[in-house]
Amino acid sequence: MTLVELTVSMSMLTTVSVIFLTALASVQRGVERQTDRTTTNDQIRLALQQLDHEIRSGNLLYDPQNETPDPSNDVVPNQSLRIYTQANADIRQQWRAPVEAVGHELAR
């Protein structure tokens, strides 16, 4: 094998390796994004199931429009739901959508 043949074969191997590793990195990033998305969906589903369970077992539901504003705890009228339920016994739960994160998180 001559030096020219060796150089050409090494160049081809390097090019193929770079293409393969670039594709591999791209697939890995896609898998990570999908895993994050799946985890987020699971957390949302569990939170909504818990909220559904507590609301369905509710003995006393407070009108969100009549909530007393409490800026220190992000309690704003029409953006919080206070319930007294059999599911949480003597604990009063308050679910709210914080003002700065409406549509992004549900705080408890």
- Helix (H), strand (E) at residue 96: strand 92-96
DSSP code at position 103: T
Residue-wise pLDDT tens digits, 50-92: 878 877 776 666 677 777 777 776 667 777 766 666 665 555 5
Range scoring the smallest mean pLDDT among 33-42, 82-91, 93-102:
93-102
Q: How does the average pLDDT of the chain come out, rounded? A: 78
pTM over cut 0.85: no
Written in H, E and C, the secondary structure of 37-95 is HHHHHHHHHHHHHHHHHHHHCEEEECCHHHCCCEHHHCECCCCEEEEEECCCCCCEEEE
The residues spanned by each domain of the chain are 1-56, 59-108
